[in-house]
Structure 1
Amino acid sequence: MKSILTSCAVLALWTGMAAAQGAGDNLDKLSNFKTTGTKDFTVVEQGGEFADGVAKNLEKIKLPEGFHIGLYAIVPDARHMAVGPQGIVTFVGTRKTEVWAMTDRNKDGKADEVKNFAPSLAKAIPNGPCFSPDGMLYIAEQNRVLQYPAAEFFYESPDVVAVNVIPQGELIPVEYESFNHTARVCRVGPDGKLYVALGQPYNVTPAELVDTFKEKGIGGIIRLGQDGKDREVYVTGIRNSVGMDFDPATKELWFTDNQVDGMGDDIPPGEINHITAQGQAFGHPWYGGGDVRTNEFKDQTPPEGLVFPVVEMDAHAADLGMMFYTGAQFPAEYKGAIFSAQHGSWNRTVPIGARVMVTTFAEDGTPTSKPFAEGWLNDETGEYSGRPVDVAQLRDGSLLVSDDLAGAVYRIWYEAPGG
């Protein structure tokens, strides 16, 4: 018998934790294709007053002409998303204990079903799902990475094959586990390697930990084989990246970075960065964002060769998930553009953010960033009705936007005016 997550329970978010406590030893069973005895899913209610209220809030969202937004699914704590290569299911991570599977069975632009993925397996901050082109699902948790082969086809069962890529306690040393900056993201690159961003847990890394963190890849991005072998530190000098994607044209990796708090309303800027070579360092902790020096390191000479952002965003807007648009549905000006989600500020006297940004590039490579979808922040009251986290592209070229405040995923699509 399936349990149904009602509107009230959607807000509670801890449904099913008791069952998960007994699932800690199930990884060995799943790795060996054995059953665990788990039978039930948690299914999220998709209609009702709660969904109606979330949908109504979307009437306030401003978009360019021809674009529309609608509620795709109610998804508790919706964070980063991975769209299945076959277009069957989209997996949504959280900063709690669940990964959700969204399925639009009749292809009407709305999910018909949202249920928890692999309920027989306990998870800890499974924020970052990503797919390989051949259908391997990876989920980066607080301190491990698991692979789920053929998850897009086996997710209908409570038991799915799951194997360690990086075992529990080996993504970072256990002594550096923290409640802060532990939401990981991942991508599989054109080289077939798995890339994982590791936020460092401090506002500014303490001087005595700089060398250790650099060696471990904390405050950086690591690269490894999809089997977990040949791990290496790819780049460093990153405070807390919670969004990255490969440029489909150049095959190079770009990433967002959340910058230092407590420096005032207007500094330091948020960042979108471009990696052109392994071993590059991107400024932290000598710089708090852009070329703004941190107070803690202002008297120290920065290392040579630091790389500064390609795009500077509004301070404290909290730039998170990002992706390059490769679809054919949107107008031509958006082909190859970066869509990125701004979660919204907390460390600012006048709130800012809670929107989706778009960054386009001129022929000479000059970037221009501007709001694409906004209205989740009431400018008069400073109140948030939603906080975008991630963006993902469906196979039809429409755009998904996750929102962990409302507990929802939205879909943005384009229809030519007058068409």
Structure 2
Amino acid sequence: MRKSRLCAATALALSFSIPALAADDALDKLGGFRTTGTSLDIPQVEQGGKKAENLKAIAQKIRVPDGFKVELYAIVPDARHMAVGTNVGVVFVGTRKTKAYAVTDRDGDHVADEVKEFAPSLKKNVPNGMCFTKDGFLYVIEHNRALLFPAAEFFYESPDVAVAVIAEQLVPKEDESFNHGARTCAIGPDNKLYITLGQPFNVPAKEKLKGFAEAGIGGIIRMDRDGKNREVFARGIRNSVGLDFNPANGELWFTDNQVDGMGDDIPPGELNRAPKPGMNFGFPWYGGGKIRTVEYKDDEPPADVTFPEVEYAAHAADLGMRFYAAEQFPEKWRGGIFAAEHGSWNRTKPVGGRIMFTSVKADGSADKTEVFAEGWLDPKTGRYLGRPVDVAIALDGSMLVSDDLSGAIWRISYGE
């Protein structure tokens, strides 16, 4: 019965595929449930040896509150955003390159036994964004298209994985850029797919604004799960690389990276709250918080600008975020937001390389923000031992933290 339902769901999902992309031979074959001829022997990423020992030593340097501990969960090259499977908890990991990974803890000891490329027969281009639906459909958001894997945890053992393209040309070809091109995604309480579309400039020229606004570049778009009914949900966002919905009330929150080159201490990074569609969050008139940009300082900003719920340290590069809706952590941390700070790259004194926590009030607004985990940045040398990208909650309630500098996923647990 389960297999019958799975096949029916997969067939329905594959009907979303776009015929114009049939020229991609592998994609065409996968859409028709045919083999590509790719070797069934998928190379695995070595999980032991000297590299593992070095990473375990880094884990010992990470400072967390009493009762918590940090351990190496997996070695995953270029690890970026993560999605935890709803069935057996396989962790799917994106990168800003051409590969995605499937991470499996087969023996249940909270350490990955196997890390291998996910869907290696399919060509990928910056498969950074990863998100699951409650019924087990995996979305992978590349630089300029959205892919649906309707049974990722069922097929991932093979190099050939059932896939459908539900959206191509997330941004127009002329606006494709190597800068700010890592997309992220989430499934909303409305059962729609939400995607962040960072704009490619530090501050865009005025002639770009109209086209960007229409396409949702420098904003967040949403669409039906089959890619239909695309619309712009939020605007005035420079480069969001993390979003999640508050399970208590269904409101969308997201991080935003702010303007470079304005000084060490301005503008602040942002954590924003979007309880409804159509909101404007102020960019490019504001570079972060209420700090006006040089380029738009003489222009009247929109009257309906919404300022951030939380202002983070300037240039800390706030990326992936997640509400904690599990029970392993003590009550203080439940219902709050954990956010990864990737760390600054152009600040006189580096800042970031840590996990922040923001508690949420009963009315849904932000309360206090504090450092939860730090130590990936050595304050004496200014050297990063790791650069956190994303946070995800494992099925057992522990927290996973991806790190694209060290090529690792860290596990933070409580009371074990």
Map of 1:64 onto structure 2: 65
Q: Corresponding residue for 1:181?
A: 180
2:44 is paired with a residue whose SS is strand
Contact 2:255–2:271 (Cα < 8 Å) also in 1: yes
Query: Relative to structure 1, is the Cα distance of residues 179 and 380 closer, same or farther in structure 2, using a 3 angstrom cutoff?
Result: same
The answer to whether the aligner puts 1:38 opposite 2:38 as a matched pair is: yes
1:369 pairs with 2:380:
no
> Hey, what does 1:3 align to over in structure 2?
none
Deviation per CA, 1:363-403: give whole Å up to 9, x if none: 46452111111001010110000000000001111000000
Q: Mapping of 1:100-249 within 5 angstroms?
A: 100-167=101-168, 170-249=169-248
2:209 & 2:395 partners in 1: Cα distance?
42
Count of aligned pairs between the two proteins: 392
CA drift at 1:308: 0.5
1-structure distance, mates of 2:334, 2:64: 17
In the alignment, the residues of structure 1 paired with residue 303 and residue 361 of structure 2 have an alpha-carbon distance, to the nearest angstrom, of 29
Rounded Cα–Cα distance in structure 1 between residues aligned with 2:207 and 2:272: 26
**Aligned partner letter, 2:190:** D
Check if 1:385 corresponds to 2:396.
Answer: no
The correspondence of residues 267-278 of structure 1 with structure 2, limited to 5 A, is 267-278=266-277
CA shift, 1:28, in A, is: 1.0
* TM-score normalised by length of structure 1: 0.92
Residue 87 of structure 1: aligned partner:
88
Q: Which SS does the other structure have where 1:333 is aligned?
A: helix
Amino acid across the alignment from 1:224: M
Aligned mates of 2:292, 2:155 — CA distance in 1: 49
Superposed CA offset, 1:247-296 (max 9, x none): 00110110000000000000000000000211101000000000000000
Asked if the contact 1:74–1:407 (Cα under 8 Å) also holds between the matched residues in 2, the reply is yes
Aligned to 2:349: 350
CA contact (8 A) 1:87 1:394 kept: no
Local SS of the residue matching 2:232: strand
Once the two structures are TM-superposed, the CA of residue 415 in structure 1 deviates from its matched residue by 0.8
Q: Alpha-carbon deviation of 1:349?
A: 0.3
Work out whether residues 83 and 91 of structure 2, in 8 Å CA contact, stay in contact via their aligned partners in 1: yes
One-letter amino acid of the structure 2 residue matched with residue 179 of structure 1:
F
1:266 alignment partner AA: D
Could you tell me how far apart the structure 2 residues matched to 1:214 and 1:378 are? 40
Question: In 2, are the aligned partners of 1:124 and 1:142 still within 8 Å (CA)?
Answer: yes
For 1:200, the aligned partner's letter is: Q
Provide the rounded CA distance (Å) in 1 between the counterparts of 2:159 and 2:395. 26
> 8 Å contact 2:72–2:411 — kept in the other structure?
yes
Secondary structure, counterpart of 2:373 in structure 1:
strand
SS for the counterpart of 2:272 is strand
Contact 2:389 2:401 in 1 (8 A): yes
CA distance in 2, matches of 1:362, 1:135: 31
Give the superposition deviation at 1:25.
2.4
Q: Judge conservation of contact 2:358–2:366 (CA < 8 Å) in 1.
A: no
Cα deviation code 1:23-63 (max 9, x no counterpart): 95211111111110001423100000011101101111110
Consecutive unaligned residues in structure 2, runs of 5 or more: 1-22
Letter of the aligned partner of 1:387 in structure 2? R
How far is 1:86 from its partner? 1.3
Mark the runs of 5 or more structure 1 residues left unpaired by the alignment: 1-22
Sequence identity, in percent? 60
